[in-house]
A and B are shown apart, each in its own frame.
Chain A
């Protein structure tokens, strides 16, 4: 019987959050344990008070494999893939913004939209390889996942991570998380980045 890998001691990650100096905060989603309950989507909506149609975190169902011979073991699987902002190393949205409203914070690598500057042109949504930024029609500005920067600054974890019922999301510095994954899951999981790690250097980690 495989160990219940989703239970990783909080202390292991806490240390990476408290670490001083420049880092890249990110989220690690263990797709093996995600049940697609959308609790993260709702927690995010409540925390960030987003209007209808704007979700900083969406869970997408992805069908993998092919149904072949009915007498054999079915090779089809459904994964639930929660997609927050990838807080890329080289954000395509930042490069595309015509007014320089998008910045990547040096101290923690969080990519933020300055709503005072944003003119709502949607260039970031065009440029983002994940189509993440969304238009808030009420405020006429673009919005995106902030990695709950208001909580992170207080030493808390993002709302989606805190709320995850399957404890399948983890928050911390990207290098510490990778180290943790290698230690705890190396034999069973493969580490991936949505869309590969080539174009914009996304930071959100997925294991399956």
Chain B
């Protein structure tokens, strides 16, 4: 690809919503079946089949994917949560009204779709002492963006759980149903900025190519190995912002113990059983670095930071020995405590056969070497039977 094409691609692709692939569960392991972004995307602009989430030209920049991805793989470039908060002046005397482009035009915050809301946005408004939050919700069933509608309920439910934990009255958030307004320009008919640029792409590339000397970029050769990409962990900014709000709110009020079912929870509680073989896959593949492994001279240990965990369940899905399990209920207070807990610890031994460090009950031969011998014996028996 020539530089000119690269420039053109960058201009078009990087403008609205950025994807940090290393945070995407699908990128980290093909065993992940996460499709939260694609399920919520109202424009069907996200595909997750190609090894990582990808946004195509149908994108309408609504930002629902940012809200849907727990790992923070998406980041809106224009209207971030911070910028949305800046649109409101605090202290706010009356109830804060949030609506969408097809709802109440006089609302304090108008989002492209109400599913763009995040738990952090709710908590941030409560932190700034908004007396109440009213969500002016038009009838989503008739909206072209209906596909994203279910996500709003998830966000509200999770926020209510957090409110319970932080000792905030969950009724401070209320939903008011209003009629669906017609939009001057319905999103699916309008020419998006992306399409607009796409139309010019071919010509612009040609002109740019003529202007810029055509040096073949060596990006393909230098492409970083997958191994290194997953090792350099990126910060889950969405989670950092949420934790910041939770901690600030938690300092103000009396905190209640809140346990929720782990199905839709924002974090998870993990237990590691004796089946662990110290392979470290859970720690290597965890997108947010919630699980970390450590080899010392004497021992192998796994530790867990629940505040980073997004309950993506990669660890449970990839654990070959089924040693790692996610508990059925999780205490949301783990988010607040920010404690690194020890999940698992075992004595380090060295295998006399393969010279590798291992853990287990065997004295001096690792379970993998034993397993290999056993398997080969069976295989030979089969051959010479």
Residues of A within 8 A of B355 (CB): 53, 137
Whether the pair A195, B378 counts as a contact (CB closer than 8 A) is: yes
Cross-chain contact of B284 among A119, A131, A195, A206 (Cβ < 8 A): A119
Chain A contacts with B in 75-132, Cβ cutoff 8 A: 79, 81, 83, 96, 98-101, 114, 116-119, 121-123, 125-131
Taken together as a complex, chains A and B put the C-alpha atoms of A130 and B376 apart, in Å, by 6
User: A130–B375 contact, CB under 8 A?
Assistant: yes
**Chain B window 269-287, contacts with chain A (Cβ cutoff 8 Å), 1 for yes, 0 for no:** 0000000000111001100
B354 touches A53 (CB 8 A): yes
Chain B residue numbers with a CB within 8 Å of A196 are: 382
Contact call A125/B368, Cβ cutoff below 8 A: yes
Interface centre among A98, A135, A194 (most CB of B within 10 A): A98
Within 8 A of B (CB), among A166-208: 192-196, 206, 208
Q: A98-B318, A117-B226, A130-B375 are in contact. Are A195 and B356 (CB under 8 A)?
A: no
Shortest A205–chain B CB gap in Å is: 11
B281 and A123 within 8 A (CB): yes
Contact, CB under 8 Å: A99 / B226: yes
- Cα A121 to Cα B371 in complex, Å, equals 16
| Complexed CA–CA distance, A147 and B380 (Å) | 21
Contacting residue for B29 out of A53, A99, A129, A193, CB 8 A: A99
> Within residues 23 to 66 of chain A, which ones have a CB less than 8 A from any CB in chain B?
53, 60, 62, 64
Report if A117-B285 is in contact (Cβ < 8 Å); known contacts: A100-B29, A123-B320, A125-B372: no
User: Which A residues are CB-close (under 8 A) to B51?
Assistant: 100
Q: How far is the CA of A105 from the CA of B320 in the complex (A)?
A: 24
A135 to B357, CA, bound (A): 12
Interface residues of A in 129-165 (CB under 8 A from B): 129-131, 135, 137, 141
A98's partner among B29, B227, B371, B372 (CB-CB below 8 A) is B29
- Name the one of B226, B279, B384 contacting A62, with C-beta atoms under 8 angstroms: B384
A194 touches B284 (CB 8 A): no
Given contacts A96-B320, A135-B356, contact A60 B380 (CB under 8 A): yes
**In-complex Cβ contact of B354 among A99, A121, A135 (8 A):** A135
Please, which residues of chain B bring their CB within 8 A of the CB of A118? Answer: 227
Contact of B379 among A99, A195, A208 (CB under 8 A): A195
| Minimal Cβ-Cβ distance residue in B for A137 | B356
Closest to B27 in A: A99
Instruction: Judge if B30 is at the interface, Cβ distance under 8 Å.
Output: yes
Chain B, interface residues (CB within 8 Å), range: 20 to 34
B226 and chain A: residue at smallest CB distance: A117
* A117 and B380 contact, CB distance less than 8 A: no
Question: Within 8 Å of chain A (Cβ to Cβ): is B225?
Answer: yes
B284 adjacent to A121 (CB under 8 Å): yes
Contact B227 A119 (CB under 8 A): yes
- Give Cα distance in the complex from A81 to B226, angstroms: 36
Residues of B with C-beta under 8 A to A79: 384
Interface residues of B in 362-385 (CB under 8 A from A): 368, 371-373, 375-376, 378-380, 382-384
Contact between B285 and A60, CB atoms less than 8 A apart: no
CB closest residue in chain A, given B317:
A98
For the complex, what is the distance from the CA of A122 to the CA of B383, rounded to whole Å?
A: 26
Contact indicator B383/A121 (Cβ below 8 Å): no
Contact A98 B383 (CB under 8 A): no
Contacts of A130 in B (CB 8 A): 375-376, 379
Instruction: Known contacts A121-B280, A192-B383, A196-B382; decide if A99 and B356 are in contact (CB<8 Å).
Output: no
Point out the residues of chain A lying under 8 angstroms from B382, CB to CB: 194-196
B31 at the interface (CB under 8 A from A): yes
The answer to whether B28 has its CB under 8 Å from any CB of chain A is: yes
- In angstroms, Cα B355 to Cα A60, docked, is 20
In the bound complex, do residue B376 and residue A131 qualify as a contact, i.e. CB atoms below 8 Å apart? yes
* Cβ–Cβ < 8 Å partners of B226 in chain A: 99, 101, 114, 116-117
Q: How far does the Cβ of B24 sit from chain A's closest Cβ, in whole Å?
A: 13
| Cβ of B64 under 8 Å from chain A | no
Give the Cβ gap from A73 to chain B, nearest Cβ, in Å. Answer: 18
Q: How far is the CA of A101 from the CA of B384 in the complex (A)?
A: 33
Tell me whether B249 is interfacial, beta carbon within 8 Å: no
Q: How far is the CA of A127 from the CA of B375 in the complex (A)?
A: 10
A71 to B280, CA, bound (A): 58
* CB nearest to A198 among chain B residues: B382
Shortest Cβ distance from A116 into B: residue: B225
B380 closest partner in A (C-beta): A62
Interface: B230 (CB within 8 A): yes
Q: A126-B371, A135-B354 are in contact. Are A117 and B28 (CB under 8 A)?
A: no
Q: Scoring B residues 15 to 44 as 1 if CB is less than 8 Å from chain A, else 0, what string do you get?
A: 000000000000011110000000000000
Given contacts A117-B227, A119-B281, A121-B280, contact A100 B30 (CB under 8 A): yes
Q: Which residues of A contact B354 (CB under 8 A)?
A: 53, 135
Q: Which residues of A contact B380 (CB under 8 A)?
A: 60, 62, 81, 194
Instruction: Tell me the B residues contacting A by CB distance below 8 Å.
Output: 28-31, 51, 225-227, 230, 279-281, 284-285, 318, 320, 354-356, 368, 371-373, 375-376, 378-380, 382-384
Top-5 shortest CB links A-B? A131-B372, A195-B379, A116-B225, A100-B30, A98-B318
Can you list 8 A-B pairs with a CB-CB distance of less than 8 A? Answer: A60-B380, A96-B320, A121-B280, A125-B368, A127-B320, A137-B356, A192-B383, A194-B379
Given A99-B28, A129-B379, A131-B375; 8 other pairs, CB 8 A cutoff: A53-B354, A60-B376, A118-B227, A130-B375, A131-B371, A141-B227, A195-B378, A195-B382
